[in-house]
């Protein structure tokens, strides 16, 4: 782990020292993303101070010279924060509005395109807006933009258990509530000692196949 971080530090420092004068904003953005990833991986390690210093040096060196580049970077920062703290669709819409300004200034900015793709995954309306923006500015889509949808929930049908004599199971009659039928445990005898005897008789009638007596006893409980 340590040797890997050191190697990444050395590679990034070498790239920073050999930056060409005419390096475009996209190439600088790639270096910044690499430095940000390195800084996150080096957190709470002996390499963290060196990574912080390198990131700060990169920020100073790559400070945009054109007002347009500076504006796009500011818009990207605002939109990223808005997406990260989004609480509803209005926040996502606002982030897309911000990024649309950046896209109008630089339709090839990798950060703007990446954040728009992220925003598109937040909902159908957001996906449609981003698709329209990409079509308007001729942006090559990084991937199909479709919001995630939860899988359908299948209803579970309880099993039915017919009696040996071919009649419907008595529990279907017991739990079929009609204006003239009582539910189990709601009859006047439920709180009396006779309920135990009647339940015993119902059980015997059920297993002996006496359907009519089973239903009659069930209606009395």
Question: What are the boundaries of each domain within the chain?
Answer: 2-61, 67-137, 170-220
- Asked whether the predicted pLDDT for residue 221 surpasses 70, the reply is no
Q: Are 33 and 25 in contact (CB under 8 A)?
A: no
Query: b/e string for 111-121 if b means 16 or more Cβ within 10 A?
Result: bbbbbbbbbbe
Q: Which of 19-28, 80-89, 167-176, 205-214 has the lowest mean pLDDT?
A: 167-176
A 10 A CB-CB count for 199 gives 14
Summarised one tens digit per residue, pLDDT across range 49-68 is: 888 888 877 776 666 556 77
- Structure-derived torsion over alpha carbons of residues 134, 140, 144, 146, reported in degrees to the nearest 10: -20
Q: 78, exposed or middle or buried, with CB in 10 Å at 0-12, 13-18, 19+?
A: middle
Q: Determine the pLDDT at residue 189.
A: 47
Handedness of CA 17, 20, 22, 28 (dihedral sign): negative
Q: Which of 39-48, 94-103, 190-199, 205-214 has the lowest mean pLDDT?
A: 190-199
What percentage of the chain reaches a pLDDT higher than 90? 21
As a whole number, the mean pLDDT across the chain is 76
Q: Are 95 and 81 in contact (CB under 8 A)?
A: no
Q: Are 110 and 72 in contact (CB under 8 A)?
A: no
Q: Determine the pLDDT at residue 135.
A: 92
């Amino acid at each position: 782990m340590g040797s890997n971080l050191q190697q990444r530090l050395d590679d990034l420092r070498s790239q920073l020292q050999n930056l060409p004068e005419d390096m475009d904003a996209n190439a600088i953005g790639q270096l910044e993303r690499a430095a940000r990833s390195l800084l996150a991986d080096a957190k709470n390690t002996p390499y963290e101070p060196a990574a912080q210093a390198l990131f700060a040096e990169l920020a100073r060196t790559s400070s945009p010279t054109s007002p347009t580049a500076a504006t796009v970077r500011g818009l990207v920062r605002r939109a990223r924060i808005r997406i990260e703290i989004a609480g509803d669709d209005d926040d996502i819409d606002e982030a897309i509005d911000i990024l649309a300004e950046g896209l109008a200034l630089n339709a090839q900015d990798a950060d703007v395109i990446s954040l728009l793709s992220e925003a598109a995954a937040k909902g159908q309306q957001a996906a449609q807006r981003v698709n329209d923006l990409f079509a308007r500015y001729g942006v090559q889509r990084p991937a199909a933009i479709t919001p995630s949808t939860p899988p359908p929930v299948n209803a579970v049908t309880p099993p039915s258990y017919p009696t040996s004599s071919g009649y419907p199971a008595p529990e279907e009659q017991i739990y079929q509530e009609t204006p003239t039928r009582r539910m189990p445990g709601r009859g006047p005898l439920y709180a009396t000692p006779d309920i135990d005897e009647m339940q015993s008789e119902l059980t015997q009638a059920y297993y002996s196949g006496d359907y009519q007596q089973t239903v009659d006893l069930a209606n009395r409980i």
